[in-house]
A = this chain, B = another copy of it.
């Protein structure tokens, strides 16, 4: 009896994979979810971990716990080495081999430095919990060191924060760093004042938040400037090294650089031997299949899926979730239509009481949009416990201007010393 139940393997428990697993829970199928992390991460709030507003556990929940009640779902902590489509098996790093009748690949994306991987050392991005606590350490340590630094040039570099990329993540990071460096911590330091800090947002394109309408892009720019962020548009980064960023021919001395510019799909296209687009995403059929493999689906940031108007769908959570539900429905035989994305709107936050929201005809900015953003993000957070905790943290941070997770953890010594080679002297 058991052997006739279809075996479904889902690789990756991000928004897409988890949604597919939830949809397949309690059905007459056997589901195996494989992820190399034990937790599902609510990436849209990761920048708040990086800026000390939330704790990692607030926005991450064990995959096992989320799926605990679904007795037809098992969860494996492991990495995939290979997919052998001819035998319909997935080979795992731990040595196990898992058979499937249906395979759902939802392995997400990682940073892309456009071929300059050496930049990653100096300009980390934020995709994982470790990335976020690393950026948090850098930002907080820069402030600590600036407090005792007596050389003006070094001190200015320590208090200069550059965010590369003007998409939602870049805008959120720039706003949050400005709030942290210029407001939240001003009471605690003796020698640095809020006006010592510079936060610079560099975007190669001509507008922030390219997915938003022009009016809201303009509001975003104004809001960031009100927060004290210097926004450089049409400014391509040409070099990044320890303590400096080159933008065109200008050089900015900055101790802390955050990368929010490019992403690249995980190497699923290689595993599958499938055609990929420029960003490494698998070119899927309108049914989200790998061509000629109706039993293999690719969803989320790993898939290059058209929106029906010749453009690719963006790499955002709602797309991944709808795709996850869609493939589950296809596997269960509930639909035969091609996938269609329903766009319910677009949200981005800039800082305290500042956000933009685009729901087609309705466009909001400022406090109203920020409230919508808060409600939406708490709503979509997995787990009642996390919601309570995040609401508590936000209420606290809002009322007190404090940041509740200002911890410097990890190797303090491992970071590059403040302002290295070019600025010598002053301190023995």
Interface residues of A in 281-337 (CB under 8 A from B): none
In this complex, what residue of B is CB-closest to A417?
A: B94
On chain A, the number of residues with a Cβ less than 8 Å from chain B's Cβ atoms is 54
| A405, B57: Cβ atoms closer than 8 Å | yes
| A189, B148: Cβ atoms closer than 8 Å | no
State the number of copies, please. 2
Tell me, in angstroms, the Cα distance from A31 to B76 when the chains sit together: 53
Tell me, in angstroms, the Cα distance from A141 to B62 when the chains sit together: 12
Chain B min CB distance to A299 (Å): 24
Interface residues of A in 117-134 (CB under 8 A from B): 129-130, 133
Given A65-B402, A130-B410, A409-B56, A76 and B188 contact (CB-CB distance below 8 Å)? no
Tell me, in angstroms, the Cα distance from A400 to B383 when the chains sit together: 12
Q: Which of A256-264, A269-277, A388-396 contacts the other chain?
A: A388-396
Tell me, in angstroms, the Cα distance from A412 to B77 when the chains sit together: 10
| A65, B406: Cβ atoms closer than 8 Å | yes
23 contacts between A and B (CB under 8 A): A37-B412, A38-B141, A38-B407, A38-B408, A39-B406, A55-B56, A55-B57, A55-B58, A55-B405, A56-B407, A56-B409, A57-B405, A57-B407, A62-B188, A62-B407, A64-B188, A68-B187, A77-B145, A94-B145, A95-B428, A96-B148, A388-B392, A388-B396
Question: Of the candidates B37, B185, B402, B427, which one forms a contact with A95 in the assembled complex, judged by CB atoms under 8 Å apart?
Answer: B427
Interface residues of A in 49-107 (CB under 8 A from B): 55-58, 60, 62, 64-65, 68, 74-78, 94-96
Interface residues of A in 324-367 (CB under 8 A from B): none
| B62, A406: Cβ atoms closer than 8 Å | yes
Tell me, in angstroms, the Cα distance from A75 to B60 when the chains sit together: 33
